[in-house]
Amino acid sequence: MSTGTALRAEQDKGRRAAQNKEKWAQGRTYISAAVILIWCLAPAYWMVVVAFREVGFTYDTSILPTHITLDNFITAFDTSFGNRFGQALLNSIFIGVVVTAISLLIGVFAAYALARLNFRFKYMVLGFILGASMFPGVALITPLFQLFTNIGWMGTYQALIIPNISFVLPLTVYTMTSFFREMPWELEESARVDGCTQGQAFRKVIMPLAAPAIFTTAILAFISSWNEFLIASQLSSDATQPVTVAIANFAGAQPQQIPYTAIMAAGTIVTIPLVILVLVFQRKIVAGLTAGAVK
């Protein structure tokens, strides 16, 4: 009897220790998460605070919002002086979506070939693709300008989309290839044994497993296209300019004045769609994970 109680006490102690350890681990996770949030969001917070400040108080350094106004957001969307921020937002989204979709599609093709097929020149192809990420982007503008002028593409959407695709493709192909390599491809073969075509097997078995990788690559591609400025600043027209160019077009009321508040407002507006995008896609990540677990 007494031994039994002692044993139970011992077990309780062990369980409590385990629980404590668990709690401690959880606690550490939350502390780390908080640190990450502060690191990532503090400068962005400052952007938002400045975005809501009156122009006359641009340089105020109170940590909390002061001299609050919506003027900067109204200015950002004001079209009377030839700003096309709204249009530019749509352009950026359109260009980003097309670039992401196309580069993922052809990137997945290429990655599948590189990870799964045996063929000669594989290393040459890999080197070629990587080599495309080695030339200074600033030096691409002049040749591209001349090329697109010659074929009459200046200011068109394709003149912005095709360079962007090329910029994100090397990363897309490399990421997808490295992930495809890690896939349990035996599953694909067993699915085919079960009567799936190769295409079906790829779609139904491999794609769900690769979902986190594909999602990640998609986000990377989209943001990189979203951020692109140099090429767009020279190759776009008023009608096709993306949001980065539109922000560079912001001007103060006076010649040398830098419109910090309006730029910060634009930065705030531009960040929001991306955050929403990520929150929506969260489900996809989770779906990918569960599929992985069930396998």
Partner 1 sequence: MATEVGPTPVKAPASGGTPIHHGPKGVGEDNKILSQGKWAAWLLAPTIIALAIVIVYPIISAIVMSFQKDAGLDPATGLFTAGGPAGVQNYVNWIAQQCATPGGGTVACPPGTLGAQFWSATTTTFIFTIITVTLETVLGFWMAMIMARNFKGRSLVRAAVLVPWAIPTAVTAQLWLFIFDFQGIANKLFNASILWTGSEWPAKWAVIIADTWKTTPFMALLILAGLQMIPAEVYEAAKVDGASAWQRFRMITLPLVKPALMVAILFRTLDALRMFDLPYILTGGANNTTTLSILVINQIRQGFNAAAALSTITFIIIFIVAFIFVRFLGANVVEQSGATGKGKK
Partner 2 sequence: MKSPKFLLPVATAGVLALTLSACGGGGGGGTTTGGGDAEAGLDGRGPITYVQGKDNSNVVRPLVAKWNAAHPNEKVTFKEQTDQADQQHDDLVQHFQAKDANYDVMSVDLVWTAEFAAKGWLQPLKDKMAVDTAAMLPSTVAGASYKDTLYAAPQNSDGGILYYRKDLVPTPPKTWDEMMQMCSIAKQNNIGCYSGQFKQYEGLTVNASEAINSAGGSVLDKDGKPSLNTAEAKEGLGNLVDAFKDGSIPKEAITYQEEESRRAFQSGNLLFHRNWPYVYNLAVTEGSSKVKDKLGMAALPGKDGPGASSLGGHNVGVSVYSKNKATALDFLKFITSEETQRFYATQGSLAPVLTNLYDDAALVKKLPYLPVLKTSIENAVPRPVTPFYPAVTQAIQENSYAALKGDKSVDQALSDMQKSIETAGAGS
Binding mask 182-221 for partner 2 (x = CB under 8 A): ----------------------------------------
Length of the chain: 295
Per the CB < 8 A criterion, the answer to whether 282 and 66 are in contact is: no
Which of partner 2, partner 1, none lies near 159, with the C-beta cut-off 5 to 8 A by kind?
none
Which residues in 121-180 contact partner 2 (CB under 8 A)? 122-128, 130-131, 134, 141-143, 145-146, 149
Residues that bind partner 2 (rule: CB under 8 A) add up to a total of 41
Return the residue of 202, 250, 265, 268 that touches partner 2, per CB under 8 A.
Answer: 250
Which residues in 16-55 contact partner 2 (CB under 8 A)? 54-55
Per the CB < 8 A criterion, the answer to whether 246 and 85 are in contact is: yes
The DSSP-derived string for 203-245 is: IIIIHHHHHHHHHHHHHHHHHHHHH--HHHHHH--TTT--HHH
- Using alpha carbons, list the distances in angstroms from residue 231 to 103, 137, 150, 223: 18, 8, 17, 15
Return the residue of 5, 30, 63, 81 that touches partner 2, per CB under 8 A.
Answer: 81
Least gap, CB of 1 to partner 1 (angstroms) = 33
Is 234 one of the binding residues for partner 2 (CB under 8 A)? yes
> Which is closer to partner 1, CB of 8 or CB of 60?
60
Nearest-CA neighbor of 206 among 194, 188, 192, 193?
188
Phi, then psi, of 53 in degrees rounded to 5: -95, 150
Return the residue of 238, 239, 276, 290 that touches partner 2, per CB under 8 A.
Answer: 238
Helix (H) or strand (E) holding 31: helix 2-51
Contact residues: partner 2, CB under 8 A: 54-57, 59-60, 67, 80-82, 122-128, 130-131, 134, 141-143, 145-146, 149, 233-234, 238, 245, 248-258
